[in-house]
Amino acid sequence: MTPPAADPLAGISFRPAAAADQAVITAIIREVGINPLSLKWPNFLLAVDAATGAVAGTGQIKTHGDGSRELASIATRPAYRGRGIAGAIIRRLIAQDAAESTAPLYLTCVSTMGPFYEPFGFRAISAAEMPRFFRRLQGFVSFMEHFVRRDVTLLVMRREHEPPPGR
């Protein structure tokens, strides 16, 4: 009989961030080069290397002025990638959000990252389907893309917590 495969998440634990984590959250988001705005520690869930206490990965859910909720700041430090850490953070944040709200969860990403989020139930949506915050954001980014980069576009994705009526 073949022995069971080792758990790639062995030695990784998950916990809500604390005030003392603010600096490392900001540093990791800078290191991986994603949106550096709205990195408030109370919104964050962290993956931690249990042996060293080092933060291995991050994710958050932030709420916008129009009430829409966004999964954001999904990042795994390079040395910890490919072990399912980001997936585990995403699943935990989705479960946490579903416990707090029945409203859909949104995210924004570059178009090349769309396939990464689809297995978690996120689907790309059109401007007509977007809450005000994301419609404005996408309008602004499209305007900038026109001048800067034409090959990568901003995707807005949505995940429904509840199945649509009648299904």
Ligand X SMILES: CC(C)(COP(=O)(O)OP(=O)(O)OC[C@H]1O[C@@H](n2cnc3c(N)ncnc32)[C@H](O)[C@@H]1OP(=O)(O)O)[C@@H](O)C(=O)NCCC(=O)NCCS
Interface residues with ligand X (CB under 6 A) are 32, 34, 57, 74-76, 81-87, 109, 113, 115-116
Q: At closest approach, how far in Å is the CB of 8 from ligand X?
A: 8
84 or 121: whose CB is closer to ligand X? 84
Q: At closest approach, how far in Å is the CB of 153 from ligand X?
A: 13
30 or 132: whose CB is closer to ligand X? 30
Q: At closest approach, how far in Å is the CB of 60 from ligand X?
A: 12
Q: At closest approach, how far in Å is the CB of 89 from ligand X?
A: 8
Q: Is 83 strand, coil or helix?
A: coil
Structure tokens at 120: 């978690």
15 neighbors 89 (Cβ within 8 angstroms): no
1 or 27: whose CB is closer to ligand X? 27
* Residue 72 phi, psi (nearest 5): -150, 175
118 or 162: whose CB is closer to ligand X? 118
Q: Could you tell me the CA-to-CA distances from 70 to 30, 61, 80, 93, 122 in Å, in that order? A: 19, 5, 24, 10, 12
- Beta pairing class for 154-159 and 123-124: antiparallel
